[in-house]
Amino acid sequence: MIWILQKKRYSKKSANLLMVENQDIKMKSIQLTSYNKNIIRAMLGLKLVEKEVGKPGDNEVLVKMHASPCNPSDIAFIQGTYNIVKSLPVVPGFEGSGVVVEAGENAKYLIGKKISAFVQSDSEGTWAEYFVVNLNDLIVLQDEMDLDQAACFTVNPFTAFGLLEIALLRESKAIIQNAAGGQVAAIVRKMAYENGIEVIDIVRKKESVELLESQGAKHVLIEDEENFQEKLASISLNLRANIAFDAVGGNLSGSMLNALIPDAELVVYGGLSGKPIENIDVMGPIFQNKIISGFNLIDWKADLEDDEFEKISEHLQNKFISGDYETVIQGSTTLENTVKGLRDYITNMSAGKILIRP
């Protein structure tokens, strides 16, 4: 008996109960069959398949997926260029939201709870009607939390929080960030303004300037505009920018580090250009005490004290519930139309996330 047939006979409400009783039911999912650096060919390696719903282990839960985004890390993953490479075939998707419908021995108390998940282990991901997630990789949500926003909650808001912490520790008056039309950057900007920190945003398209300015951004530069380096250095000096958040790499990394005031730090947290860091004026590290560091969410989370993550999560959820913070969602797609959804997303990433819905 398969899930698709059952769906015709049972209401959504009874489906949860059914899950507990019948482990043989099947679900629709996306399956990655091969990695390919060429993104178009990589997408051809994505198939819609029907497979058995996973069974949660003792410390795991089974989640009925509500929505799952496509992030730059998912794109890099299907290209085989991410730092996580799983055995194939596998269900892709690192993030998602939903409701717990079944749980292992140590997680029964979560049945019926709304959760947000970040699935990175060498197991199936979130682009499926159901996914299994370990207790350590999920966030139990407040009832008021919107499940679309929750689909994009476990990674970017915490990354923005971790990045802003660095600026606060360095008592920054101003920061520079690239990929400024992206969702991490949007939350960083909000957090920076809340803390009285000026933001110099760098984008690569004219449309993004208008978009950011309509959202309240005050200093937006386009990376290939005339006299870019001089303008960046001049604003940075005026505002005393001592931190730059780099999600791009390549020439832009050097441009940002060179523009910062002495005793500054370039924090690299993404490599969207696919290029190594370039263009650094050697005088900066030698005579001006400028440094380069890296940030990744997993290590940041591992360094937190006991209940610190819970407190940050509660704070961030409150911000999302109140509407102070938001992940912009440009649209959604079905599992069947995932490839089209991915294409729309990579064509205009600054327009917001595309959610995959079962």
Ligand X SMILES: NC(=O)c1ccc[n+]([C@@H]2O[C@H](COP(=O)([O-])OP(=O)(O)OC[C@H]3O[C@@H](n4cnc5c(N)ncnc54)[C@H](OP(=O)(O)O)[C@@H]3O)[C@@H](O)[C@H]2O)c1
Q: How far are the Cα atoms of 27, 31, 53, 60, 336 from residue 50, in angstroms, in the given order?
A: 5, 9, 9, 22, 11
Alpha carbons 176 and 199: distance in angstroms, whole number: 6
Q: Can you state the angle between helices 156-169 and 183-194, rounded to 10 degrees? A: 40
Q: Which is nearer to ligand X, 53 or 338 (CB)?
A: 338
Pairing of strands 26-32, 265-268: unpaired
Site for ligand X in 42-61 (CB under 6 A): none
Six token digits for residue 339: 């490839």
* Binding status of residue 77 toward ligand X by CB under 6 A: no
* Binding status of residue 297 toward ligand X by CB under 6 A: yes
Tell me the window of 4-12, 93-101, 256-264, 343-351 that interacts with ligand X (CB under 6 A): 343-351
* Binding status of residue 161 toward ligand X by CB under 6 A: no
* Binding status of residue 116 toward ligand X by CB under 6 A: no
Residue 290 CB, nearest approach to ligand X (Å): 21
* Binding status of residue 296 toward ligand X by CB under 6 A: yes
Q: How far are the Cα atoms of 33, 42, 136, 179, 345 from residue 248, in angstroms, in the given order?
A: 28, 21, 30, 7, 17
* Binding status of residue 155 toward ligand X by CB under 6 A: yes
Tell me the window of 256-264, 314-322, 336-344, 345-353 that interacts with ligand X (CB under 6 A): 345-353
Q: With b meaning 16 or more CB within 10 Å and e meaning fewer, what string describes 145-157?
A: bbbbbbbbbbbbb
Tokens 């996330």 belong to residue = 353
* Binding status of residue 96 toward ligand X by CB under 6 A: no
* Binding status of residue 247 toward ligand X by CB under 6 A: yes
Among 3, 118, 269, 320, binds ligand X (CB under 6 A): 269
Among 101, 119, 132, 179, binds ligand X (CB under 6 A): 179
Among 7, 113, 205, 301, binds ligand X (CB under 6 A): 205
The site map against ligand X for 8-27 (x = CB under 6 A) is --------------------
Tell me the window of 14-22, 84-92, 152-160, 229-237 that interacts with ligand X (CB under 6 A): 152-160
Q: Alpha-carbon Rg of the chain, whole angstroms? A: 21
Among 68, 159, 242, 313, binds ligand X (CB under 6 A): 159
Candidates 255, 235, 243, 236; CA nearest to 165 is: 243
Q: Which residues does 67 contact at the CB level (< 8 Å), separation at least 6?
A: 96, 97, 98, 147, 148, 151, 332, 355, 356, 357
Residues that bind ligand X (CB under 6 A): 71-73, 155-156, 159, 179, 181-185, 204-205, 208, 247-248, 269-270, 272-273, 295-297, 348-350
